[in-house]
Structure 1
Amino acid sequence: MESKRQQKFAGVIQQDLAAIFQREGNAYLPNTLVTITKVRVTPDLAIARVFLSFFNNTNTQQALQLVKSHASEIRYKLGARIKDQVRIIPQLEFFVDDTNEYVERMDALFDKISREPRQPDTEE
């Protein structure tokens, strides 16, 4: 369970990272929209786990590795934005948020189930 402080700090990081990716994300991943879906912060506020969603990109693992390779540069830009609000700039760990893929898979399963002929209910 995250404390209010962690939640507030995660929100600040999420907003600022979103602005960084919106302005300069094209330099890291051309023609790809990067969305920060969730940020989780450790209790000591030293590590921020950032969950990303990639749109208009077929290889999410390659995109994630590219973002990870620029992690120190992204952290520096984040630090420039939040330096007056925090004591330490957290280390950034990036992960793929596969919620959209999971939802699409579940929708496909439900569609398949709804197309199958129904068994008549047998009641005695």
Structure 2
Amino acid sequence: MDSTRQEKIGRMLQKELSSMFLGIARNYPGVMITVTNVRITPDLSIAKVYLSIFPGDKAESTLALIKEHSKTIRYELGVKIRHQMRVVPELAFYLDDTLDYLENIDKLLKK
């Protein structure tokens, strides 16, 4: 169970990362990146960022590219939130496939 502070910081990181990925996605036409959830550890040192990437066939390659540039993304995030947080958490990116899972269940139920 997350504390109120963890939830507030998670929402703030989600908002800032969403605006950053909006700018990044403009460099890659045909790809839409959405930050669906940010979970942060109790010591505020690691943030697990869940991304939904559309279209699904480019998801793995886009996620690999994001993981490759995670240090740069963390630095840019630190510049944006430097007045709210003393230490910027390490970012761990994961692919959020809940929409694909729901779509698959929907297909199975329609049969």
Report the TM-score, using the length of structure 1 for normalisation.
0.85
The answer as to whether partners of 2:31 and 2:58 remain within 8 angstroms in 1 is: no
Is residue 92 of structure 1 aligned with residue 91 of structure 2?
Answer: yes
Unpaired stretches in structure 2, ≥5 consecutive residues = none
Deviating 4+ runs (over 4 angstroms): none
- What do the CA deviations read for 1:51-94 (whole angstroms, capped 9, x no partner)? 00011351322211111001011111100110000010010000
Instruction: Name the CA distance, whole Å, in 2 between partners of 1:95 and 1:77.
Output: 19
- RMSD in angstroms over aligned alpha carbons? 1.1
- Figure out how many residues of one structure are paired with residues of the other and give that number: 111
**Larger-gyration structure (1/2):** 1
Of the structure 1 ranges 55-64 and 71-80, higher mean CA displacement relative to structure 2 is found in 55-64
Partner of 1:104: 103
Per-residue deviation, 1:105: 0.5
Of the structure 1 ranges 57-66 and 45-54, higher mean CA displacement relative to structure 2 is found in 57-66
The answer as to whether partners of 1:51 and 1:94 remain within 8 angstroms in 2 is: yes
Identity %: 41
Is residue 77 of structure 1 aligned with residue 64 of structure 2?
Answer: no
Partner of 2:57: 58
Report the TM-score, using the length of structure 2 for normalisation.
0.95
- What do the CA deviations read for 1:10-46 (whole angstroms, capped 9, x no partner)? 000000000001122333x442110000000000111
Partner of 2:6: 6
Q: Which AA in structure 2 matches 1:88? A: V
